[in-house]
Chain A
Amino acid sequence: AQSVTQLGSHVSVSEGALVLLRCNYSSSVPPYLFWYVQYPNQGLQLLLKYTTGATLVKGINGFEAEFKKSETSFHLTKPSAHMSDAAEYFCAVTVNSGGSNYKLTFGKGTLLTVNP
């Protein structure tokens, strides 16, 4: 079974600073990896995903993540934080094995606050 660990339940950055949200996964087979964002009182919105191919994945709103197999990581970054980036971010994993690649396993989430 796969699992996800998000380091840091709460990250605080200044506006304009680098955003780095950490995600490590555990999987016995090649994973599919996702980052979702949840704004207050809204559903989860997909930021980006990695399935196969290029390991650096670009998403919406200037975010990107890099799949590093050797480090079992999929950290989310953005060069310059905006106030509108304040939200909760979830990393998720699934695998293409046994026909159950729909079953997402989520981390506990990281709450990002952006200070003016």
Chain B
Amino acid sequence: NAGVMQNPRHLVRRRGQEARLRCSPMKGHSHVYWYRQLPEEGLKFMVYLQKENIIDESGMPKERFSAEFPKEGPSILRIQQVVRGDSAAYFCASSQGIQSTDTQYFGPGTRLTVL
């Protein structure tokens, strides 16, 4: 059973470009979460999605960031007009449910570098 897949693993963008990060959850998981890890910081919750629905985006910056989880295909985290402060590791996790007994399984992350 394949784990959570993320691609690309490393992404380099120049200021002003767009970054698209992809996440394929584990088979059978319908709940997807995105976290961001800034240098020297712990992971911070960004957004929680189910298929075709954003459930909680309370951790997402109000501008330039968006996320989707379409009916078919991976979840996408999109960052428009990237700035140097967006350089971070972005982790995706998935779970079967959202009870306390449901473990979040994490992908290997995408490391975004903005030049």
Residues of A within 8 A of B (CB): 4, 6, 32, 36, 41-46, 49, 51-52, 90, 92, 94, 96, 100-109
A45-B48 in contact (CB<8A): no
Q: Shortest CB–CB separation between residue A74 and chain B, in angstroms? A: 15
7 residue pairs, one from A and one from B, having the closest CB atoms: A106-B42, A43-B106, A44-B106, A106-B43, A51-B100, A43-B108, A102-B98
Q: Which residues of A contact B31 (CB under 8 A)?
A: 102
Q: Nearest Cβ in chain B — how far from A43, in angstroms?
A: 4
Contact size class for B? 20 to 34
Question: Is there an interface contact between B103 and A108, defined as CB atoms closer than 8 Å?
Answer: no
Distance in angstroms between the alpha carbons of A72 and B115 in the assembled complex: 41
A12 to B28, CA, bound (A): 39
B58-76 Cβ-contact flags toward A at 8 Å (1 or 0) = 0100000000000000000
Instruction: With both chains docked as a complex, state the minimum distance between the C-beta of A10 and any C-beta of chain B, in angstroms.
Output: 12
A100–B59 Cα distance when bound, in Å, is 12
- A79 CA / B104 CA spacing, docked (Å): 27
Q: Is the CB of A100 within 8 A of B42?
A: no
Chosen A-B contacts, 24 in total, with CB atoms closer than 8 Å, are A41-B108, A42-B108, A43-B4, A43-B109, A44-B91, A44-B106, A46-B103, A46-B104, A49-B103, A52-B100, A94-B100, A96-B100, A100-B56, A101-B98, A102-B56, A104-B35, A104-B43, A104-B45, A106-B35, A106-B43, A107-B42, A108-B40, A108-B41, A109-B42
